[in-house]
Amino acid sequence: MTDEHQGHLDRLTSVDAGFLHMEEDGAHMHIGALGVFDGPAPSIEAFRAHLDARLPRLPRYRQRVQQMPLGTGRPVWVEDAHFHLDYHVRHTALPAPGGERELLNLVDRVIGQRLDRTKPLWEMWLVEGLEGGRWALVAKTHHAMVDGVSGVDLMSVLFDLTPDVQDEPPPAWSPKPTPGAVDLLATGALGLVRNVADLAGQGVGLALHPQKAVRTTIGKVTALADAAKPLISAAPKTPFNDKPGPHRRVALVSTDLADYKRVKASSGGATVNDVVLAAVAGALGRFLQDRDVPIEGLSLRACVPVSLRPDSKRGALGNEIAIMNAPLPVGITDPSARLAAVREAMEDLKSSKQAEGAAVLTSLENALPPAILARASRLGFSSRLYNLLVTNVPGPQLPIYMLGRQLQELVPLAFLAPEHQLAIGIMSYNGAVVYGLMADADAVPDLDLLAKHLRESLSELVATAD
């Protein structure tokens, strides 16, 4: 029996547990998405019935986090004896005129509210009243449950490729009994024994010196290029590297995937992702100049999650990601030169052992005692390592449907980790590339200005290609 399934209990991985540990003060560790659909909106009863029919393929969505007694191990997933779909699926409407700003004001409030740890860690909001007779869906799920790639895979469960799919009646469901304290203590004790054995296998010194274990863990997170050239310098200081407050501000930028392909074709070797990062770097440079921050020679560090999930585990929940540090040359104002610098940096990154080091790090974290894992998780997302999160996830490149309504636009919603007040999520869908900008509402009240700079930065790259 594996460590993750001791006594038939499904334990959180170290990465999953780390996202729980990082959630403190204004750092809400849930991710989400905003979907805008053709109208008319379905009734809330029809929408809940649709989710109820799909939930058997999403067992984690009926499970909650159960902490282990006396800190004897990572938490486990248990089925929620009080699960009610009505709690998780909410219904609301926008005030007139139901435009983008009214919709994003609602998203600001929904995404700024922390999920209840005593319940399964997700919510969905059916939103009516959008202009043009449309409707929207706002979804948020704790990062302990999903990563960006597995979140995209969930579309295969919640969405359909054609508009005329009919749901089958769901099978009856009743929760399994919650394990008692004795079972949890036995599982935790066995986990501690196995953790000690794992640590011994990696070096008795780490088990005897927990501070050294933390330093070793953080050292591997910050590795850049390869194991022989570790990153030792801190990320530069920016106005956005401070503790986030509880309130959020969201903006979106919708662009055409064809523009990125034109720039790629004219660049002689850049990827679409390189073009995305070059556009982001240009926008951030201008945004910093708005705050009188000198940018000459400045290169920020972006935390870029990279999927380690094999094809055999597509659709599975939980996190299988590595964190890589990608440079953003915000000080290069010439768009062609900036794209060339991004391309060169990303090629170096791809040839490095950074992802391999992250995999080793994960195996080490799985053996760490909970108290040390909590510290390592917080330090691993410190502003010393990177300036902001930039996550780019490819979505489906064909129309998808829910309850017969076509999804028009899909906006990713990232998270603000401790010491970070700005994050950028990017997702492609059906020929579009959409940026979901998220910031601390008090620290970055002018997020719409960053959205404007992003459009201008991309236009410059396209003009250079033309």
Active site residues: 143
8 Å CB contact between 382 and 419: yes
Residue type at 40 in one-letter notation: P
Alpha-carbon dihedral sign for residues 39, 42, 47, 53: negative
8 Å CB contact between 415 and 388: no
Residue type at 320 in one-letter notation: E
What span, in angstroms and rounded, lies between the C-alpha atoms of 218 and 378?
10
Q: In what order do the strands lie in the sheet with 405-413?
A: 89-93, 122-130, 134-142, 30-37, 405-413, 401-402
On the 0-12 / 13-18 / 19+ scale of CB atoms within 10 A, 364 is: buried
Q: Torsions phi, psi of 443, nearest 5?
A: -75, -30
> CA angle at residue 21 from 301 to 311, to 5 degrees?
70
8 Å CB contact between 92 and 231: no
Report residue 417 as tokens: 């980790």
CB atoms within 10 A of CB 60: 21
Half-sphere exposure at residue 284, Cβ-oriented, CA atoms within 13 angstroms: 31
Helix (H, G, I), strand (E, B) or coil at 323: strand
On the 0-12 / 13-18 / 19+ scale of CB atoms within 10 A, 431 is: exposed
φ/ψ region of 290 (left if φ > 0, alpha if ψ in -120 to 50, else beta) reads alpha
